[in-house]
Amino acid sequence: MYNFADIVIYAPRWQCIVMLFAALREVRGGMTKADTIALIRDKLWFDIQPEDRLPYPSQRLTTHEPRWITSIAWARKDAIEQRLMHKGAFNEWDLNSEGLDSFAIIARACRETRLDVRRCYLWSCRFKLRMDPSYTTGQPERKRPLNLYEGDWMQRILDFI
């Protein structure tokens, strides 16, 4: 019910989709990639660590885009593939009614603690509090995997190549 097709709950891709949907929910009518990334960055929603600021190896000689930004862009691609966002024109990011409904269900489940924000290691404390107003720091949290950028996302790149 809370999955996005093959993207399971709490997986890094899922966490990025939820942050993306929250940003797009805040500003109805669509945004550009730069505006969406700026909103997530300015609200300090993504718990950015040093490895997140590095580009993927394939981008070291091209865009130099930090991994966390690429991850949010992939979240958009995943959401479009699942028909939760308008494909729209180039650089037009907006949720459709199914995406809005999906986010509402997830947000409600977080507020009602049916989904555990403590398991979302990419989310900052601010975003966890936004999703679950009863959230408090100091309790056990899921640790970020040491090989975060391998496996889930890395396999997708390898499958594409």
- What local confidence, expressed as pLDDT, does residue 155 receive? 52
- Per-residue model confidence as pLDDT tens digits over 104-159: 999 999 999 999 999 999 999 999 999 999 999 888 999 998 888 775 555 555 55
- What local confidence, expressed as pLDDT, does residue 159 receive? 53
Write out the residue range of the structural domain in which residue 144 sits. Answer: 12-160
Q: Do residues 110 and 14 make contact, with C-beta atoms less than 8 angstroms apart?
A: no
Taking CA atoms, 56 is separated from 44, 66, 102, 153, in Å, by 22, 7, 30, 11
In a domain, 5, yes or no: no
In a domain, 2, yes or no: no
- What local confidence, expressed as pLDDT, does residue 139 receive? 84
pTM (predicted TM-score): 0.88
- What local confidence, expressed as pLDDT, does residue 158 receive? 52
In a domain, 143, yes or no: yes
In a domain, 21, yes or no: yes
Mean pLDDT of 7-32: 93
| Closest alpha carbon to 72 in 153, 137, 146, 143 | 153
Q: How many domains does one find in the chain? A: 1
CA gap 28, 20 in Å, rounded: 13
Q: Which residues pair with 85 in a beta bridge?
A: 95
CA gap 66, 52 in Å, rounded: 6
- What local confidence, expressed as pLDDT, does residue 88 receive? 77
- Per-residue model confidence as pLDDT tens digits over 25-69: 998 888 999 999 999 999 999 999 999 998 887 777 777 899 999
In a domain, 147, yes or no: yes
In a domain, 1, yes or no: no
Task: Give 70's DSSP letter.
Answer: H
- DSSP H helical ranges for the chain: 12-26, 33-42, 50-53, 67-81, 97-111, 125-131, 152-160
Mean pLDDT of 73-89: 91
CA gap 24, 81 in Å, rounded: 17
SS3 93: strand
Q: Which residues pair with 93 in a beta bridge?
A: 31
In a domain, 3, yes or no: no
In a domain, 81, yes or no: yes
User: Would the pLDDT of 94 be above 90?
Assistant: yes
